[in-house]
Amino acid sequence: MLKFDFRTYNNKFISDENRDSYISKIEKINGRFHSEELKHWLDINTYVSKEELNDIKSIAQEVRDICDVFIVIGIGGSYMGSKAVIEALTPTYNKRKPEIIFFGKNINPNEYTEVLEYIKGKSVVVNVISKSGTTLEPSIAFDLIYNDMKNRYSSEELKKRVIVTTDANTGTLRQLVKEEGFRSFVVPTIVGGRYSVFTPVGLLPIAVAGINIDELLIGVQNTIDNYLENANEYAVTRDILYNKDKFIESFTIYDEKLHYLAEWLKQLLAESHGKEKKGILPISNINTRDLHSMGQYLQEGKDIIFETVIGVKNNQSLYIDKYKMDLNNLNNMALEKVCMAHNNGYTPSSIIYMDKLNEQNLGELMQFFMLSTIVGGLLLEINPFDQPGVQEYKKLINEGLN
Ligand code: PA5
């Protein structure tokens, strides 16, 4: 279950008239969600079919049985969602087996050499994820890992150990699947990239990590059924603040396990809205750690920031004798007091609470943010589904390649 507070620490900056002025715009956008154009975003079958879900579960179990290291190769939307869910829901220290390595998101030779060295003698399965199949970083990483695997596994064994997630018909990876008979999943045409965490792109790595993907999808459905209004309200809140020159949004979390959730949010918002000289710049803060660094700026720096705070109501209980208080309550008390302090400065806050950190709530939260990102993009009058700006650097790098 999610709880939203878009009012308490925003009301100094947002009036009821501000909110009311969006009623007809939101009605129009919601109409689009019920038309051919956008209705697939409210239909869970768009993300994954029943057959794919069954395949994902059985292949994930098989992978868990045979490997020490599961290498997920992909960049941007191909890995950030699954990494966010896995980091949030698995132990930070006493790591589960198999170990999951996210690879092919940089081109730093030290990292590549280290990973190749590390997997020597270990049982490896790779899931290469790229919709286009041509992206530089994952393509270099896959070539290196695949060559290493070809040297130690037979072609029959490789069929169990190479899993490809790519476009249904086109690209070099689809070609490889046809030639080598590798198992494969499809990146749905209309739910690609940063919106793809609940498609096979995200679900296979998440299932390999031992996380219950049925529960995650129950959460997605809960948001479709119950939280669309809240997603609208969040998009409106952001848009009003943006129009009052609040150009930076901090995703502020109070649990380091949500670190990659904040990274995923930064990608989702920056790539979806940052175009045509528009959009809010997303940043993140992990509190209370960052109160001792970024906190100073949020309290007294330039008046251009607002916060979206993500809290967890019921974490582990841990009694602190010194303050006669449970640490969970203390952490949430700090969250509210910091919102109050920032509101006394110039930084308004919205708060979203999950009642617990679990599969369902994370499914609800991520689907909530994806729907709200679409609504927010339509309010900005940009296309929230493309990323034309990513092409420029690719073009220049390609000119440097032989
Ligand atoms: O959100 C997006 O569309 C991007 O971040 C892509 O996921 C990223 O560029 C990777 O693209 P591809 O899957 O084609 O390798």
What is the CATH classification number for the domain harbouring 265? 3.40.50.10490
Residue 339 included in any domain = yes
Dihedral sign for Cα atoms in the order 231, 306, 313, 213? positive
Claim to verify: residue 139 and residue 191 sit in the same structural domain: yes
pLDDT of amino acid 95: 80
pLDDT of amino acid 230: 98
Residue 394 included in any domain = no
Claim to verify: residue 252 and residue 203 sit in the same structural domain: no
Claim to verify: residue 17 and residue 109 sit in the same structural domain: no
Residue 379 included in any domain = yes
pLDDT of amino acid 395: 87
CA 142 to centroid of ligand 1, rounded, Å: 15
pTM of the model: 0.97
Per-residue DSSP letter, 22: T
Residue 384 included in any domain = yes
Please say which residue of 179, 211, 243 terminates a domain: 211
Q: How far apart are CA 121 and CA 101, in angstroms?
A: 16
* ∠ CA 244-248-252, rounded to 5°: 120
CA 131 to centroid of ligand 1, rounded, Å: 7
To test the pocket of ligand 1, the residue of 127, 135, 395 to mutate (highest count of ligand atoms within 8 Å of its CB) is: 135
Claim to verify: residue 317 and residue 351 sit in the same structural domain: yes
Residue 377 included in any domain = yes
Contacting residues for 276 by C-beta, under 8 A, at least 6 apart: 382
Cβ neighbours of 228 (radius 10 Å)? 19
Atom of ligand 1 lying closest to residue 129 CA: 13
Cα distances from 302 to residues 179, 245, 246, in angstroms, run: 57, 11, 10
Q: Is 286 exposed, middle or buried (0-12, 13-18, 19+ CB in 10 A)?
A: middle
Residue 143 included in any domain = yes
Q: How far apart are CA 266 and CA 65, in angstroms?
A: 34
pLDDT of amino acid 289: 97
Give the binding-site residues of ligand 1, using a 6 Å CB cut-off: 75-78, 130-132, 135, 138, 192-194, 271, 387, 390
Claim to verify: residue 322 and residue 179 sit in the same structural domain: no
Q: What are phi and psi of 223, to 5 degrees?
A: -65, -45
Q: What are phi and psi of 373, to 5 degrees?
A: -65, -40
pLDDT of amino acid 340: 96
Claim to verify: residue 110 and residue 27 sit in the same structural domain: no
Question: Which residues have a catalytic role annotated?
Answer: 271, 292, 394
pLDDT of amino acid 2: 98
> Structural domain of residue 339, as residue ranges?
2-35+216-389
Claim to verify: residue 226 and residue 267 sit in the same structural domain: yes
CA 193 to centroid of ligand 1, rounded, Å: 5
Residue 395 included in any domain = no
Number of structural domains (the chain) is 2
Q: How far apart are CA 327 and CA 259, in angstroms?
A: 20
Residue 144 included in any domain = yes
Claim to verify: residue 28 and residue 48 sit in the same structural domain: no
Claim to verify: residue 242 and residue 288 sit in the same structural domain: yes
Which residues sit opposite 100 in a β-bridge?
A: 70
Claim to verify: residue 109 and residue 122 sit in the same structural domain: yes
Please say which residue of 211, 242, 263 terminates a domain: 211
Claim to verify: residue 207 and residue 228 sit in the same structural domain: no
Please say which residue of 211, 239, 265 terminates a domain: 211
Claim to verify: residue 242 and residue 102 sit in the same structural domain: no
Q: Count helices and strands (H / E) in the chain.
A: 16, 12
Query: Low-confidence residues of the chain, pLDDT below 50?
Result: none
Q: How far apart are CA 261 and CA 84, in angstroms?
A: 5
Which residues sit opposite 129 in a β-bridge?
A: 165
Helix (H, G, I), strand (E, B) or coil at 21: coil
Q: Residue 145: which H helix or E strand, with range?
A: helix 136-152
